Amino acid sequence: MKKEYLLTPGPTPVPPQAREVMAREIIHHRTSGYRKIFQQVSELLKLVFKTKNDILTFTSSGTGAMEAAVVNLLSPGDKAIVVRGGKFGERFEEICRAYNITAINIDVEWGKAVNPDLIAGALDSDKQISAVFTTLCETSTGVVNDIQAIGSIARKYKAILVVDAISGLCADNLQTDEWGVDIAIAASQKGLMTPPGLAFISVSPKARERIEKSRLPRYYFDFKKAKKALEKFDSPFTPAISLMLALKEALELIKAEGIDNVLARHKRLSRAVKAAIKSLGLQMLAPDAPANTVTAVKVPEGIDGLQLVKIIREKYGVTIAGGQGKLKGKIIRIAHLGYMAEFDLIIGISALEMALAELGYKVKLGSGLAAAEEIFSTPGKE
Amino acid sequence: MKKEYLLTPGPTPVPPQAREVMAREIIHHRTSGYRKIFQQVSELLKLVFKTKNDILTFTSSGTGAMEAAVVNLLSPGDKAIVVRGGKFGERFEEICRAYNITAINIDVEWGKAVNPDLIAGALDSDKQISAVFTTLCETSTGVVNDIQAIGSIARKYKAILVVDAISGLCADNLQTDEWGVDIAIAASQKGLMTPPGLAFISVSPKARERIEKSRLPRYYFDFKKAKKALEKFDSPFTPAISLMLALKEALELIKAEGIDNVLARHKRLSRAVKAAIKSLGLQMLAPDAPANTVTAVKVPEGIDGLQLVKIIREKYGVTIAGGQGKLKGKIIRIAHLGYMAEFDLIIGISALEMALAELGYKVKLGSGLAAAEEIFSTPGKE
């Protein structure tokens, strides 16, 4: 017998309520029953995004929605600022390149947040810049960017602010409307506790105007078609019906808990993991701008990072993430995201302690757990 | 109590084996367990497509894969033949237009198959034509095109033959390799008996060469990225994991039945429905090229087609499809597709008889059923 535990920043565990509805007989999407569910999902998503804007839904991974933002907002020859502080920031630049958009890269050391002044400077130096692409939580480094500060800058310019909130939504606070985020992007398999396959995009009035003028080619990801269909709670193309049914259940759970309580839970879980890491003598990759979504931990000198992830998974059944891109083998990433509570992280920290000991790292077994329990058992301690 | 029955050409009923796996705890996609499932799915799909070519998988509806075919094969300024004999043929032209590809339309009366000689003539008159876009079963009209004949023509030219087999696969025979189909497109929610959200594309060596030269922009739907990942049974972006698990179960059922037996079953169900229609004095929209996927029936003079579909759904719980585009209200469409057997169609015919009677159409109750039973109970009768 081997029990399996998933502590990755996507996919994340799916609650039984959401899994069970997918086992039911499928329904057709051009029916009043499905339209009602789509309507409920669209309304509930607004609570989570903290927006009054329309939220468009696409059947794709989050990357599809990132591409959708580029092709619906920009035109050939446009320039866009891309904050590159990790793998997902870099992805925006790759998409811009695929469409011949000139990316003005703001390169940020992996593990640091972007300095909003750099964005202000870039926008000041070229008033023709059409968009700013950045991330809420950069999943590859565990950094949360200061979207509020970036939003207060971007709203003074013609540039559209696009925020990849794919991993961060529900875990790191996002106030789409109050902070002036024009386009926020999310996906189902993160804080929204649903299997992968759905992506979401909120569209501000400022972004809507730009879409009217955009001349990059698109069809499947066309915002105007999606918006027109949404008015009747319909989809231009066959949607991922079973995933939508699951999402509705997951969103009902979020509504019942309250989005601010959901955020507070993620913060508590995140603080406990970070306290455990510190108590084990390990170092965080992103101590200055730590996300509540995922904690990236430097693999200590002399330890094989790939081996560490492998032991945790194969011996203890706990799947955590390793490093991506240039951080491969150099960090591990423990997610505290979505359908997770205290004991999910107790399990994760326990597996980490035992695997570190096996690899010869000097660790006092139970010390990380004690630090986490200290946070969990003391209200207000976080 | 109201029991519901789904007789639409997508989504189609999902077998319990495929539904149940989606209710299990989700697994991560960057694991050997998931890769093994993706490998099995990729191999099983080849049996269904009757191909040795690679089959690429995307998280999207079938339309996403249609766009993928256009943007991976063509370059700005290219010309392509588009067979427009229904809503889905027209969609290829819309996608071409979105990418500034010159579509050479071969317009076919809705309800007729394309005359392959017209394709030969168009290819002869302009040797620079880069692709031929056509459909196996045109879902909107219930027509099956003669892909074998079209393939024997297209292979003599530089044009890449792209076949939308989205609704037809598993119901209407497709011999991808033997018939010279370069790109065959399918989706999960039709004959593959899986919820919507996955799309599939087989790529011939001739198409692979073209992809190397294609210069239309793309990122999410890029074939080269998908192909490179497929070599390790990996995906460039997070796949729709739960749908893939369901698909594996559905494909195992198809393999156990045997693809040619699956095709024979669809043919038998289709013949029974068509015999019932005839016996009820109704006319088929496509008597000359009837698909085994779906039967399109002309709504008789004096009967309101929208009302007919509504009564069948609301009073009898049976969801069939109405007409699309210019056929709205003028036809009904009964699917015999995917996880369906004799009594699913007995139910459909029964509901149709009763609803027709209610609307004042002269019908001898049970006569359609008798015609279907005649087919079902007499082996070889089809």
Q: Hunting for tokens 């109970």 — which residue is that? A: B377
Q: Convert the pLDDT of each residue in A71-88 to its tens digit.
A: 999 999 999 999 999 999
**% of residues, chain B, pLDDT over 90:** 98
Task: Tell me what the mean pLDDT of segment A288-305 comes to.
Answer: 97
Task: Tell me what the mean pLDDT of segment A33-44 comes to.
Answer: 98
The answer to whether A13 contacts chain B (CB < 8 Å) is: yes
Quote the pLDDT of residue A382: 52
Burial class (CB in 10 A: 0-12, 13-18, 19+), B193: buried
Q: Convert the pLDDT of each residue in B24-34 to its tens digit.
A: 999 999 999 99
| H helix or E strand, kind and range, residue A210 | helix A205-213
Quote the pLDDT of residue B1: 84
pTM of structure: 0.97
Helix residue ranges, H only, B99-195: 116-125, 147-154
Quote the pLDDT of residue B257: 98
Q: Convert the pLDDT of each residue in B115-153 to its tens digit.
A: 999 999 999 999 999 999 999 999 999 999 999 999 999
Residue B22: CB partners within 8 Å, gap ≥ 6? A19, A22, A23, A195, A242, B195, B242, B243, B245, B246
Average pLDDT over chain B, rounded to an integer:
97
Cα of A17 vs its chain's centroid, Å:
22
- Phi/psi of residue B358, nearest 5 degrees: -60, -35
Residue A12: CB partners within 8 Å, gap ≥ 6? A6, A189, A190, A191, A193, A335, A337, A338, A339, A340, B26
Q: Convert the pLDDT of each residue in A155-212 to its tens digit.
A: 999 999 999 999 999 999 999 999 999 999 999 999 999 999 999 999 999 999 999 9
How far is Cα A299 from Cα A161, in angstroms, rounded to an integer? Answer: 35
CB contacts under 8 A, A 180-199 vs B, are: 187, 189, 195-197
- The minimum CA-CA distance between A159 and chain B, rounded to whole Å, is 23
Task: Tell me what the mean pLDDT of segment A23-40 comes to.
Answer: 97
Beta bridge partner(s), residue B318: B5
CB-closest option in A99, A196, A219 to B217: A99
**What is the ipTM, given to two decimal places?**
0.97
Task: Tell me what the mean pLDDT of segment A3-20 comes to.
Answer: 97
Task: Decide: B7 and B338 in contact? Cβ < 8 Å.
Answer: no
Quote the pLDDT of residue A239: 98
Task: Tell me what the mean pLDDT of segment A137-160 comes to.
Answer: 98
Sign of the C-alpha dihedral, residues B120, B126, B129, B133? negative
Quote the pLDDT of residue A326: 92
- Place B381 in a pLDDT band, splitting at 50, 70 and 90: low
Q: What is the three-class DSSP state of A133?
A: strand
User: CA separation (Å) from B177 to B147, B163, B165, B206, B346?
Assistant: 12, 12, 14, 11, 36
Residue B355 confidence (pLDDT) above 60? yes
- The minimum CA-CA distance between A250 and chain B, rounded to whole Å, is 14
How far is Cα B31 from Cα A143, in angstroms, rounded to an integer? Answer: 25
User: CA separation (Å) from B279 to B284, B320, B377?
Assistant: 12, 19, 17
Quote the pLDDT of residue A379: 77
Burial class (CB in 10 A: 0-12, 13-18, 19+), A109: exposed
| Test the B interface: residue of A87, A235, A238 with most B CBs within 10 Å | A238
| Test the A interface: residue of B22, B24, B235 with most A CBs within 10 Å | B22
Residue B18 confidence (pLDDT) above 70? yes
Task: Tell me what the mean pLDDT of segment A338-354 comes to.
Answer: 98
The answer to whether A55 contacts chain B (CB < 8 Å) is: no
Residue A215 confidence (pLDDT) above 80? yes
- The minimum CA-CA distance between B88 and chain A, rounded to whole Å, is 11
The answer to whether A140 contacts chain B (CB < 8 Å) is: no
**% of residues, chain B, pLDDT over 70:** 99
Cα of B233 vs its chain's centroid, Å:
25
Q: Convert the pLDDT of each residue in B149-207 to its tens digit.
A: 999 999 999 999 999 999 999 999 999 999 999 999 999 999 999 999 999 999 999 99
Task: Tell me what the mean pLDDT of segment A23-30 comes to.
Answer: 96
The answer to whether B314 contacts chain A (CB < 8 Å) is: no
The answer to whether B164 contacts chain A (CB < 8 Å) is: no
Q: Convert the pLDDT of each residue in B229-275 to its tens digit.
A: 999 999 999 999 999 999 999 999 999 999 999 999 999 999 999 99
CB-closest option in A25, A94, A195 to B240: A195
B64 to A60: CB separation less than 8 angstroms, yes or no = yes
